[in-house]
């Protein structure tokens, strides 16, 4: 038979307590409750002795300790205790039910919110998904496809998620529903993460818009690379109105933006168009060296380098090398990086730029001008006809009008007159006089006002390079040309070349250049010289004009200019 002790004063009603004489319960009801109302349980209740009723003062003076006395519970007290035990039992049952309910709820709740993407299986009964790039959406309407790319835009709602996917060739709106949308990973997805999505492409219903007028209803998707969220989130790193220098530090990320990537696509289209025109015009592509020991456009902008102990430079222009190709290959061109240690921090100067240069033999200055304007008009036409680049130019440069042949021709001397007539002064604050360079600002003012392409010709000998052919009717000026475009200014510089050996040597002398390292170039005038000319076209400058960019820096993948060589 079990005996349980109850002491109202020192006992505790707790499951931690055993109900022994040393650890009594506080109430008989609790004692009964712990024994599940077992009738055979004997309950002893503590009864205060007379001694204990004495005051503390009396006790302190008394030598005897009070006697502890337990007596069996009275029948009436037991009845009362039984009632209490029943109440306790009911209360406990209620609490247990509530806890169980809470537990079940808590089990169910996270189940929905924390549905794991990896637990969602692909429906194998669906047709095999065809791997496609986003450029080919229209050809794949109604087909189950697999698309992979970066999360360009994201909208996650309850039970629905919209991902605008980007893969570099295009954009696609993908819709996730049901478990795919509810999954924990979808709820926590971030911009610029990489994903692989399977589903069927369908045309959008009337009134709804998305890139290409289509969307993909996802039936399965995986996250391939989760991009950071929080402080490191892409949108925190690339903020639209951030300082341009901070954006350039993050160029590897800003490239992903719609405008810069659009310019890069136009750039690719333009380079393809230029090559197409050269092919049509019968020019051959060559690849001259970038590491050289000669200058072309003046020593002040040379990047010097140590070449196994010898002095060498990064090329300023491939012109001299192109000239050597004429007897071997006929008319030639190159698309090559040129380097200029420009001190000027202007919006149209880079330290490294992609230089499109050509050299043509047996032609007159007028023929050279016609060739240049044809090249520009045709290459722009081809870019505009390109379904991708043409659309991008419409976005970047709304209202752009393709240039028409022939370009306006203007001589240097006429330009001086034009400027002086409008009181536009030279850099010294004086009216222009023969021999003055027309600086960037004044040149821009003129071409922006005239607002059409200009072939500016016949510059004075002293402001042009050593190799330029003098005009037969006026030896003070050269057979030279700059192509000027509104908003940018000069995009091309070219000339006929001195084809007489002595004239060329005189040119070196005039510019204080030692002709010795140019022995190979001078040989062109010894081993069968010919009338020839060429030009250089700055890729980033023509793009700044075509795409209406404020600076050429926006037209280079990773622009290099004074103080910037990263990333």
Interacting residues toward ligand 4AD by CB under 6 A: 296-297, 317, 319, 340, 342, 349-350, 353, 355, 357, 490-494, 534-536, 538, 540-541, 552
How is residue 11 annotated by DSSP?
-
CA distances (Å), origin 519, targets 22, 501, 507, 515, 522: 115, 11, 14, 7, 5
Return the number of the residue (51 or 531) whose C-beta is nearest ligand 4AD: 531
Helical spans, DSSP H, in 386-433: 387-396, 412-421
Return the number of the residue (381 or 562) whose C-beta is nearest ligand 4AD: 562
Closest approach, Cβ 556 to ligand 4AD, in A, equals 9
Closest approach, Cβ 495 to ligand 4AD, in A, equals 6
Residue 257 · residue 238 · CB < 8 Å: yes
If we measure between CA atoms, which residue out of 153, 154, 152, 155 comes closest to residue 168? 152
Return the number of the residue (19 or 538) whose C-beta is nearest ligand 4AD: 538
If we measure between CA atoms, which residue out of 222, 144, 148 comes closest to residue 183? 222
Return the number of the residue (151 or 356) whose C-beta is nearest ligand 4AD: 356
Closest approach, Cβ 328 to ligand 4AD, in A, equals 18
Closest approach, Cβ 402 to ligand 4AD, in A, equals 19
Return the number of the residue (215 or 479) whose C-beta is nearest ligand 4AD: 479
Closest approach, Cβ 159 to ligand 4AD, in A, equals 53
The Cα angle at residue 489 between residues 487 and 493, in degrees rounded to 5? 150
Q: How many CA atoms lie within 13 A of 530 on its CB side?
A: 17
Q: How many CA atoms lie within 13 A of 316 on its CB side?
A: 20
If we measure between CA atoms, which residue out of 274, 262, 376, 378 comes closest to residue 335? 274
Residue 298 · residue 465 · CB < 8 Å: yes
Closest approach, Cβ 346 to ligand 4AD, in A, equals 9
Closest approach, Cβ 379 to ligand 4AD, in A, equals 14
Spatial strand order in the sheet of 69-72: 3-6, 42-47, 69-72
C-alpha–C-alpha distance, residues 454 and 519, integer Å: 36
Return the number of the residue (296 or 302) whose C-beta is nearest ligand 4AD: 296
Return the number of the residue (147 or 372) whose C-beta is nearest ligand 4AD: 372
Q: Crossing angle for the helix pair 365-385 and 387-396, nearest 10 degrees? A: 90
Closest approach, Cβ 339 to ligand 4AD, in A, equals 9
CA distances (Å), origin 259, targets 240, 310, 392: 11, 43, 9
Closest approach, Cβ 422 to ligand 4AD, in A, equals 24
Contacts of 419 (CB under 8 A, 6+ apart): 432, 438, 442, 445, 446
Beta partners for 496?
533
Return the number of the residue (164 or 317) whose C-beta is nearest ligand 4AD: 317
Return the number of the residue (479 or 490) whose C-beta is nearest ligand 4AD: 490
Q: How many CA atoms lie within 13 A of 477 on its CB side?
A: 17
């Amino acid at each position: 038979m079990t005996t349980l002790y109850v002491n109202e004063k020192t006992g505790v009603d707790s499951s931690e307590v055993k109900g022994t004489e040393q650890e009594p319960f506080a109430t008989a009801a609790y004692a009964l409750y712990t024994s599940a109302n077992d009738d055979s349980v004997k309950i002893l209740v503590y009864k205060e002795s007379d001694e204990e009723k004495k005051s503390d003062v009396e006790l302190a003076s008394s030598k005897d300790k009070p006697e502890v006395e337990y007596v069996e519970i009275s029948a009436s007290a037991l009845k009362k205790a039984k009632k209490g035990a029943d109440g306790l039992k009911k209360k406990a049952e209620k609490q247990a039910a509530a806890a169980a309910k809470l537990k079940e709820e808590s089990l169910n709740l996270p189940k929905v919110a924390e549905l794991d993407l990896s637990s969602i299986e692909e429906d194998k009964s669906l047709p095999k998904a065809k791997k496609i790039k986003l450029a080919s959406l229209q050809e794949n309407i109604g087909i189950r496809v697999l698309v992979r790319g970066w999360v360009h835009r994201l909208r996650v709602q309850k039970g629905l998620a919209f991902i605008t996917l980007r893969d570099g060739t295009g954009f696609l709106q993908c819709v996730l529903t049901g478990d795919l949308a509810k999954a924990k990973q979808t709820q926590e997805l971030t911009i610029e993460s990489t994903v692989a999505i399977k589903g069927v492409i369908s045309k959008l219903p009337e009134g709804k818009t998305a890139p290409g007028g289509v969307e993909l209803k996802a039936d399965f998707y995986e996250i391939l690379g989760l991009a950071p969220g929080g402080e490191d989130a892409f949108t925190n790193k690339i903020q639209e109105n951030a300082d341009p220098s901070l954006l350039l530090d993050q160029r590897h990320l800003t490239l992903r933006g719609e405008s810069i990537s659009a310019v890069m696509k136009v750039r690719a289209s333009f380079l393809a168009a230029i090559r197409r025109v050269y092919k049509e015009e019968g020019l051959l592509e060559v690849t001259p060296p970038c590491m050289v020991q000669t200058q072309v456009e003046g020593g002040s902008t040379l990047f010097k380098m140590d070449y196994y102990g010898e002095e060498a430079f990064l090329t300023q222009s491939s012109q001299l090398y192109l000239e050597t190709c004429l007897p071997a290959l006929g008319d030639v061109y190159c698309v090559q990086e040129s380097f200029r240690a420009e001190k000027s921090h202007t919006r149209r100067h880079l330290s490294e730029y992609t230089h499109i240069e050509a050299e043509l033999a047996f032609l007159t200055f007028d023929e050279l001008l016609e060739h240049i304007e044809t090249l520009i008009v045709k290459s722009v036409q081809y870019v505009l006809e390109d379904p991708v680049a043409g659309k991008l130019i419409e976005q970047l440069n709304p209202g752009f009008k393709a240039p028409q042949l022939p370009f306006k021709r203007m001589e240097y001397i006429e330009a001086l007159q034009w400027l002086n007539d409008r009181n536009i002064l030279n850099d010294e604050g004086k009216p222009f006089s023969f021999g003055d360079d027309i600086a960037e600002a004044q040149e821009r003012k003129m071409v922006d006002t005239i607002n059409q392409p200009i072939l500016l010709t016949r510059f004075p000998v002293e402001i042009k390079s050593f190799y330029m052919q003098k005009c037969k009717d006026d030896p003070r000026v050269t057979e030279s040309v700059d192509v000027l475009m509104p908003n940018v200014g000069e995009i091309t510089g070219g000339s006929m070349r001195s084809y007489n050996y002595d004239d060329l040597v005189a040119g070196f002398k005039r510019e204080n250049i030692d002709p010795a390292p140019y022995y190979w170039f001078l040989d062109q005038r010894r081993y069968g010289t010919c009338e020839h000319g060429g030009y250089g076209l700055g890729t980033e400058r023509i793009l700044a004009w075509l795409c209406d960019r404020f600076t050429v820096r926006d037209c280079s993948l990773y622009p290099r200019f004074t103080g910037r060589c990263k990333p």
